[in-house]
Amino acid sequence: MRNLLIEISYNGANYHGYQVQANAITITEVIQDTIEKILKKRENIVGCSRTDSKVHANSYYFNMKTESNIPCEKFITVINNALPDDIVILSCREVDMDFHARYNCIGKEYIYKIYNNPVRNPYLIDLALHHKKYIDVDALNKAAQVFVGTHDFTSFCSMGFKQGTSMIKTIEFIEVYRENDFINIKVKADAFLYNMVRIIVGTLLYVNDGKIKPEDLIHIIEAKDRTKAGKTAPPQGLYLNQVFFDT
């Protein structure tokens, strides 16, 4: 028996998120189906996180315990040859048998992509949020630093989130920067609440558009009230960018 840690990348536009759902095609289902075709056995895979419908991943990890003796390099090749074009395996390596992709995860980094141009780009419909009004990245990056540190992020969690989960998270850094017509908002934290990044992005866009003042952000955090923050930004601009493990 081996425990494989597998890194994948995917375009989530055609999927209802990572986690298996009834009557909806998901990343997990497609990967399990593909591996089953090759190994002739339905393997259980353990993902490092959930991603929502239409959300993408530059880097995502899952571990899989298997009796297959296919070498990692060959495993990458044969599975990639069978996967659809919008999902790809990037790496595969053996880890300790007690390694767990979710429980051993100590942090994640997300990037939210915004296409900042008065005219929409039809090729980016599923890959970035279109925002017409000019975004002042210097001002927005300065305002965003209020999120850095350990806070109760109740105001930045979708209502209906399951009870019993700690709302206190630590953001290590947040950066807003421009690449031509693209605005990237990069956030790294020990963990994230449901829709936390997307609500932070929506709130920052409210600041940019003059709907709220930069100095209001600290009061929104302190309010611990979802209704005080901005709208939840759409999913298509969100990318899981890096995953960090304690081993």
Residues annotated as part of the active site: 52
Contact 242, 59 (CB under 8 A): yes
The token pair that represents 65 in the structure block: 């315990």
Q: How far apart are CA 9 and CA 182, in angstroms?
A: 21
Nearest-CA neighbor of 49 among 31, 66, 82, 27? 27
Q: How far apart are CA 11 and CA 141, in angstroms?
A: 27
Residues across the chain: 247
What residue type is 9 in one-letter code?
S
